[in-house]
Amino acid sequence: MSKEEKVLVIGATQGTGFEVVQMLLKDNYDVRIFARNEEKARGKFGERVEIIIGDLQNGENLSEATKNCDHIIFTAGVTKRPCGEDLIIQTEFEGMKKTLQSAKENDFNGKFLFISSIGVKKSNWASKLLNFIKGNALKWRLAMEDEIRKSGFVYTIVRAGYLMNGGGGKKPIELSQTEYPLYLKYRIARKDVARIFVEALKNIEANNKTFDAVWAKEQDNLSLKEKFASLEKDS
């Protein structure tokens, strides 16, 4: 895969998206970000990335953002807590639909990568609590996944465990289709998720697969490529 492909990152100004951009730049990708706050975006990245200012809530400038990009990585989400369901629907679910629609209108032909969450398929007290505090976020995250799966685009959906700032690159990573429930013991570093995304961009073995990503209990000698290959494609 060429190292000068243009990758659009939506949700780049903090958290996992920020780590994704750092890794893409290190790998010499041409990075474009879609962000709602220009000052914050410039402060983080200076002139190293192209910035399209817009907001998922109204879809403004998504068309410009998705034009002529080779791949899209979507890590955006509502950061406000607690928050109502309307904000989750508008920003996340409708924001995803508008992103996919804009990409379609721009004849997007690359890979679409998305961070979802463990717990979207299995309800427990923790997922109920999160859904209560954050506008049914897990229900809508699964609905966002479904929009991607039916979009016709090549995709990879990573259901990340509880996200940590520290510990990236230090622990073994488990990629599986276990469909873990939401528990704090299933964790992973944002940097590790970013690495999974950048590797998934390069590997066809990650195509059209949805999987959990958490820190593993035991070390193994498999590469991420081999772990992608061990997973089933979505039906």
Ligand X SMILES: NC(=O)c1ccc[n+]([C@@H]2O[C@H](COP(=O)([O-])OP(=O)(O)OC[C@H]3O[C@@H](n4cnc5c(N)ncnc54)[C@H](OP(=O)(O)O)[C@@H]3O)[C@@H](O)[C@H]2O)c1
Q: What's the one-letter identity of residue 8? A: L
| 61 lines the binding site for ligand X (CB under 6 A) | no
| 40 lines the binding site for ligand X (CB under 6 A) | yes
Roughly how many angstroms between the first and final C-alpha of the chain, as a whole number?
26
Pairing of strands 154-160, 50-53: unpaired
| 88 lines the binding site for ligand X (CB under 6 A) | no
Which residue lies nearer to ligand X by CB, 14 or 208? Answer: 14
| 135 lines the binding site for ligand X (CB under 6 A) | no
C-alpha span between 141 and 8 (Å, rounded): 20
Shortest reach from residue 183's CB to ligand X, in Å: 11
Which DSSP category does 51 fall into?
E
| 115 lines the binding site for ligand X (CB under 6 A) | yes
Binding mask 188-207 for ligand X (x = CB under 6 A): --x-----------------
Shortest reach from residue 190's CB to ligand X, in Å: 5
Give the range of 36-44, 169-177, 210-218, 220-228 binding ligand X by CB under 6 A. Answer: 36-44
| 149 lines the binding site for ligand X (CB under 6 A) | no
- Quick one: which of 27, 53, 57, 89 contacts ligand X (CB under 6 A)? 57
Decide if 20 contacts 194 (C-beta within 8 A). yes
The radius of gyration of the chain's CA atoms, rounded to the nearest angstrom, is 17
Pairing of strands 173-176, 209-215: antiparallel
- Quick one: which of 28, 37, 109, 230 contacts ligand X (CB under 6 A)? 37
Residue number of the CB atom closest to ligand X: 77
Strand partners, 53: 35
Which residue lies nearer to ligand X by CB, 88 or 224? Answer: 88
Q: For residue 82, say if its preceding peptide bond is cis, omega within 30 degrees of 0.
A: yes
Decide if 110 contacts 154 (C-beta within 8 A). yes
Binding mask 9-28 for ligand X (x = CB under 6 A): --xxxxxxx-----------
For 151, what's the count of Cα atoms within 13 Å in the CB-facing half-sphere? 31
The tokens describing 5, both together, are 């492909």
Residue pointed to by tokens 């590997």 = 203
Shortest reach from residue 174's CB to ligand X, in Å: 15
Give the range of 73-81, 103-111, 197-205, 225-233 binding ligand X by CB under 6 A. Answer: 73-81
Q: Is 188 exposed, middle or buried (0-12, 13-18, 19+ CB in 10 A)?
A: buried
| 56 lines the binding site for ligand X (CB under 6 A) | yes
Binding site for ligand X (CB under 6 A): 11-17, 36-37, 40, 55-57, 75-79, 91, 115, 117, 160, 162-163, 190
